[in-house]
């Protein structure tokens, strides 16, 4: 793991989609947990059925956040789903607030 | 090693009952959870809270901790009393749910010599490494903080990742490694960059896992972002807004001359098409006009304002009904 030559640029992918299995592996959670998060509407896959689902990369962030909240704070999924959405909304509001505060200076 | 005052960390009295401790912990855990709090020290605080809770919620560990006495001050140099570690049934039972690297040396000395129970750590840490069963290496996660310009240009950035590895004695040791990442052009905040094979090494010759980097932008002094759209607040003089003007305007891709139409108002948005974040369909850059008033700080300036007052029969509060 160490001694990685910092001079080699790595190939970075950004615009990729994940299958159900990939999302589970990336976020280290079970299929059931992902299904439950889809059920709560925290993440919305494209595709007609679980076998053909494709998740956006932004799903990773949401799933991990929801998972951490359930683990660390004992929230249930509905609570975590609400928290994830509220946190994102706060983030957007903070960005707008920063902008207005800057204007006032 | 520094003594840690677990009661102080949770803000409870030394004789607090278990319910009080539980309530205090839950309240503070919500406040300092790194997903919730914007406090830069939130992650450290959250780990301290968990460590304190791990000890105080468990009557055995709490009793052992209390045995140290209450003459210690937080931060004081601490050495365990002679004979410490004998006769506590709970020895080795530490880290039940927690990430071993999250706990202090102090905790480890008191409760953690018996080794680590691995595997339950997933999701606890912001750079967590799974270490679970499968042959293929686990995936790793980290955050990367970039500048707006990096996304425009697709710069290469070197980032330092910290993670713990277990040495021959089974103790976690912090390792650092540097990797250079080419930032994909047009990446937006919250997006993930995947680096194949840069996660945890596989076992038995299997492939390594992937490294996922969550992209965050540093706040920019000039621009702010909404998706692919970039905004710039542009101060203009009242006469520039009223009469129209051509002014020099910075953009992330270089200075441009921007024509301000006559009779522009504060808050007017002028669009520079395609000058937002790059993409197949690039975002736009919006220049938002701000009217900057020149100060009336000289006789001539005051006279000019008085002249304006005479010239304009201007009723700015006409809409207020007064």
CA of B141 to nearest chain A CA: how many angstroms apart? 9
* Helices of type H across B113-180: 148-153
CATH topology of domain B6-111: Helix Hairpins (1.10.287)
Buried b (16+ CB within 10 A) or exposed e, B268-303: bebebeebbbbbeebbbbbbebebeeeeeeeeeeee
Can you give the pLDDT at residue B165? 67
CATH 2.60.260.20 residue spans of chain B: 140-217, 223-311
**B248: confidence class by pLDDT, cuts 50, 70, 90:** very high
Under 8 Å between Cβ of B91 and B47: no
Q: Tally A–B CB contacts below 8 A.
A: 115
Can you give the pLDDT at residue A13? 63
Kindly determine whether residue A95 and residue B193, on different chains, have CB atoms separated by under 8 Å. no
What would the pLDDT profile of B133-179 be if each residue is shown by its tens digit? 446 777 888 888 899 999 998 888 888 877 666 677 766 677 788 88
Contact A2/B at CB under 8 A: yes
**Is the pLDDT at B89 greater than 60, yes or no?**
no
> Where along chain A do its domains lie?
20-104
- Flag whether the pTM goes above 0.90: no
User: How far is it, in rounded angstroms, from Cα B130 to Cα A23?
Assistant: 14
Kindly determine whether residue B184 and residue A83, on different chains, have CB atoms separated by under 8 Å. no
Contact A104/B at CB under 8 A: no
Query: Which of A2, A10, A89 to mutate to test binding with chain B, by most B CBs within 10 Å of its CB?
Result: A10
Over residues B25-51, mean pLDDT? 89
- Decide: residue B70, CB within 10 A, 0-12 exposed, 13-18 middle, 19+ buried: exposed
Q: Please name the residue of chain B whose CA is at the shortest distance from the CA of residue A16.
A: B194
**Is the pLDDT at A87 greater than 80, yes or no?**
yes
- Residue the block writes with tokens 């390594």: B208
Can you give the pLDDT at residue B100? 52
Mean pLDDT estimate for chain B: 81
CATH 1.10.1660.10 fits A20-104, yes or no: yes
Closest partner CB to A87 (pick from B35, B124, B198): B35
ipTM: 0.71
Q: What is the DSSP string of B184-232?
A: PTT--TT-EEEETT-SSPPSTTPPP--EEEEEEEPPPSSEEEETTEEEE
What would the pLDDT profile of B49-60 be if each residue is shown by its tens digit? 998 998 899 888
What would the pLDDT profile of A54-74 be if each residue is shown by its tens digit? 998 888 889 999 999 998 898
Q: Please name the residue of chain B whose CA is at the shortest distance from the CA of residue A7.
A: B180
Can you give the pLDDT at residue A4? 43
CATH topology of domain B140-217: HSP40/DNAj peptide-binding domain (2.60.260)
CATH superfamily of B223-311: Urease metallochaperone UreE, N-terminal domain (2.60.260.20)
> Among residues of chain B, what percentage have pLDDT more than 90?
37
Residue B273 is encoded by which pair of tokens? 């098409």
């Amino acid at each position: 793991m160490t001694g990685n030559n910092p001079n080699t640029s790595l190939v970075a992918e950004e615009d990729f989609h994940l299958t159900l299995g990939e999302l589970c592996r990336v976020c280290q959670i079970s299929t059931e947990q992902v299904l439950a998060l889809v059920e709560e509407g925290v993440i919305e896959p494209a595709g007609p059925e679980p076998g053909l689902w494709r998740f956006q990369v932004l799903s990773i962030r949401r799933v991990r956040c929801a998972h951490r909240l359930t683990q660390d704070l004992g929230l249930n999924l509905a609570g975590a789903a609400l928290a994830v959405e509220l946190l994102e909304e706060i983030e957007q509001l903070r960005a707008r607030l920063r902008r207005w505060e800057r204007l006032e200076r | 090693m520094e003594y840690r005052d677990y009661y102080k960390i949770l803000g409870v009295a030394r004789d607090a009952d278990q319910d009080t401790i539980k309530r205090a912990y839950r309240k503070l855990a919500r406040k300092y959870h790194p997903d919730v709090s914007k406090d830069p020290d939130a992650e450290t605080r959250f780990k301290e809270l968990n460590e304190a809770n791990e000890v105080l919620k468990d009557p055995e560990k709490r009793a052992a901790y209390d045995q140290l006495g209450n003459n210690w001050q937080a931060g004081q140099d601490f050495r365990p009393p002679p004979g410490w570690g004998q006769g506590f049934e709970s020895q080795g039972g530490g880290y039940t749910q927690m990430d071993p690297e999250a706990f202090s040396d102090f905790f480890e000395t008191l409760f953690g010599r018996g080794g680590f129970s691995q595997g339950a750590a997933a999701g606890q840490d912001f750079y967590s490494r799974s270490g679970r069963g499968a042959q293929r290496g686990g995936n790793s996660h980290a955050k990367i903080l970039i500048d707006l310009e990096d996304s425009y240009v697709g710069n290469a950035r070197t980032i330092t990742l910290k993670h713990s590895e277990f040495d021959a004695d089974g103790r976690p040791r912090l390792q650092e490694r540097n990797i250079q990442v080419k930032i994909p052009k047009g990446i937006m905040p919250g997006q993930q960059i995947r680096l194949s094979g840069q996660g945890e090494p596989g076992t038995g010759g299997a492939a390594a896992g992937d490294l996922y980097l969550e992209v965050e932008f540093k706040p920019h002094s000039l621009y702010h972002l909404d998706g692919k759209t970039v905004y710039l607040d542009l101060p203009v003089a009242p006469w520039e807004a009223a009469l129209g003007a051509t002014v020099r305007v910075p953009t992330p891709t270089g200075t441009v001359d921007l024509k301000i139409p006559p009779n522009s108002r504060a808050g007017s948005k002028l669009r520079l098409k395609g000058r937002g974040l790059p993409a197949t369909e690039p975002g736009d850059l919006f220049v938002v006009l701000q009217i900057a008033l020149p100060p009336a700080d000289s006789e001539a300036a005051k006279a000019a304002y008085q002249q304006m007052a005479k010239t304009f029969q201007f009723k700015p509060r006409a809409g207020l009904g007064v």
